[in-house]
Amino acid sequence: MCKIKNIGVIGAGTMGHGIAQIAGMSNFDVILVDANEDALAKAINNISWSLKKFKEKGKISADDCEKVIKRIKTTTKIEEVKEADFIIEAVPEDLKLKKDIFSQLEHISKKDTIFATNTSSLSITEISSALSNPARVIGMHFFNPPQLMKLVEVIKGKLTSEEVLQITLDVAKKMNKEVIVVKKDVPGFVVNRIFHAALHEAFWSLYRKEHSIEEIDGTLEHFGFPIGFFKLVDSIGLDVIVHVDKILYEAYGERMNPSPLINSMVSKGLLGKKTGKGFYDWTINKPIEPKIFSFDYEIIERIYAVIVNEAAFLIQEDVTSPEDIDRGVKLGLNWPKGPCELGDEIGLDSIFYKLNALYDKYNDERYKPCPLMGIYVNKNWTGKKNGKGFYKYQL
C-alpha cells in the first residue's frame, strides 16, 4: 500500500505538467511549482485539454476531470512544497540547476521527504551530492508524454536507500506505470543507451553515404518500427539528441561516438520540426513520403547487431535484467521487439560474427563485441536454437 499522499512537482513544462496530471489522476494531492506564472497558467490549460481528451475517449468522467483539476494546486513559491511527502523535479537537463533545487528542497522539506529527479541522462548520484542525506534521492525517468507513456525507469543512485526505492515503486504503481529498475546509476540508464546505439548506426550510415534517409527510415518502418529514426529525431529535436550524445560519449568513449553529421546540422540551426527543417522539410507540416524506396537488409542487420551488443553491455555491468531491457525498449520506444529477444531469435553467434566483420571493416569501437557475447558464444549459449542465450528455452 502506498503511504505517499502529497506530491510536489517542480517545473511546469511538458514533462512537469504531464507528471502533475497523472499524479492528480492517481488520487495524489499535487503542488505544481514554477517560477513563471504564465508557465503555470499554460500548464493548467494543457492539463484541462488533456483531461478532456481522456473524457472523450471514455477513460474518465466529467466529474473525475473536475476532481483532478481541484487536486492540483499551483504556486511560484518553492517553499509551498514543504509538506509534500514526495517531490519530483522536472526542470531542464542542467546539472547545476537540479543540484541547486535539491539543495533548496532539503532545507524546506520534511526530513523523510523523498526527492525524485526526472532526468533522462544525468547522474542521480551527482545530483544527490547536493544533499546532506543523499539516501533519499532517486531517479524517476518518465517518458514523453507522461500521460500516455506507460514506462518509468526508476534509477538507484549509489547511496539511494532500499526503503526509498520501494516507496518510489509504490508511487509508480499507484500511477499505473510499468517500471524497470536500473540497479546502477549509469549514464543513459537503459532505454537511452539502446536508443542512441541504434541512432548512431543510422547516422553513420548516412554520413558514409551508404544509405539514404528514405532507405533507412523506410526499412525501419517495414520491419515494424513505429517511425523512422530520422523522422523521430526531427520530432524530438536534434539539439536534444546532441545533448544526450555528449553525455554518452563522455561516459562510453568511441563506442558511443556520434556521427559528425548531426552536430553540423545543429550548428546550422537545423533542429527538426521546431525550426521547420532537419533531416526532413517540415515547413509543409508533414514531410513528403517517398513513393518508392529500396531497402537493404544490411541496414536492419547492423541496427540489430549494435542494439543487441549494447544490451549485452548492460547485462555484463549488472545494470538490469534482459527482461527489463526488452520491456523498457518496447514500452519506452514502442519497438516491436526488445534487443535480447532479437538476439536470441537471430542467434547470438550470428550477431557476434556480424559485429566482428563490421569491426574488421571499419576498425570502429562501436562494433567491438561485448566480452559477454564472446563468453555466451563460446559456451554455445546462442539463443533459441540451443536452448539458452539471454533467456532459457525449452527444446
**Catalytic: which of 153, 201, 214, 341?**
153
Pairing mode of beta strands 151-156, 137-142? antiparallel
- pLDDT reading at 389 higher than 70: yes
Q: Does the active-site annotation cover 79?
A: no
- pLDDT reading at 291 higher than 90: no
Residues 178 and 214 in one domain: no
Only one residue has cell 516491436, namely 336
Q: Select from 161, 182, 203 the last residue of a domain.
A: 182
Residues 171 and 52 in one domain: yes
Residues 167 and 193 in one domain: no
CA dist 258 and 223 (Å) reads 24
Residues 170 and 192 in one domain: no
Query: Residue 247 contacts by C-beta under 8 Å, 6 or more apart in sequence?
Result: 121, 122, 187, 188
Q: Select from 182, 203, 234 the last residue of a domain.
A: 182
Model pLDDT, residue 296 = 79
CA dist 116 and 155 (Å) reads 9
pLDDT digits (tens, 9 = 90+) for 171-191: 999 999 999 999 999 999 999
∠ CA 35-146-23, nearest 5°, is 70
Question: Measured on CA atoms in the order 184, 187, 192, 197, is the torsion positive or negative?
Answer: negative
Query: Are 338 and 380 in contact, with CB atoms under 8 Å apart?
Result: no
CA dist 205 and 208 (Å) reads 5
Q: What mean pLDDT do residues 359-367 have?
A: 96
Residues 261 and 381 in one domain: yes
Burial of residue 59 (CB within 10 Å: 0-12, 13-18, 19+) is: exposed
Residues 204 and 330 in one domain: yes
Residues 215 and 157 in one domain: no
**Catalytic: which of 26, 46, 109, 120?**
120
Q: Select from 148, 182, 216 the last residue of a domain.
A: 182
Residues 178 and 299 in one domain: no
Model pLDDT, residue 394 = 87
Q: Does the active-site annotation cover 132?
A: no
For 234, 286, 330, the CA distances from 283, given in Å and listed in that order, are 12, 8, 31
Query: Are 10 and 87 in contact, with CB atoms under 8 Å apart?
Result: yes
**Catalytic: which of 192, 205, 309, 350?**
192
Residues 223 and 196 in one domain: yes
* % of the chain exceeding 70 in pLDDT: 97
pLDDT digits (tens, 9 = 90+) for 6-35: 999 999 998 999 999 999 999 999 999 999
- pLDDT reading at 390 higher than 80: yes
pTM exceeding 0.75: yes
Query: Residue 97 contacts by C-beta under 8 Å, 6 or more apart in sequence?
Result: 91
CA dist 119 and 189 (Å) reads 10
Model pLDDT, residue 226 = 93
Residues 203 and 335 in one domain: yes
The DSSP code sequence of 5-57 is -EEEEE--SHHHHHHHHHHHHTT-EEEEE-S-HHHHHHHHHHHHHHHHHHHHT
pLDDT band at 294 (very low <50, low <70, confident <90, very high): low
CATH number where 340 lies: 1.10.1040.50
pLDDT band at 284 (very low <50, low <70, confident <90, very high): confident
Q: Does the active-site annotation cover 153?
A: yes
Q: What mean pLDDT do residues 103-125 have?
A: 93
Residues 60 and 157 in one domain: yes
Mean pLDDT of all residues in the chain? 93
Q: Does the active-site annotation cover 120?
A: yes
Residues 142 and 283 in one domain: no
**Catalytic: which of 141, 196, 200, 211?**
141
- pLDDT reading at 379 higher than 60: yes
CA dist 392 and 381 (Å) reads 9
When divided into structural domains, the chain yields a total of 2
Residue 376: domain span? 188-395
Model pLDDT, residue 395 = 78
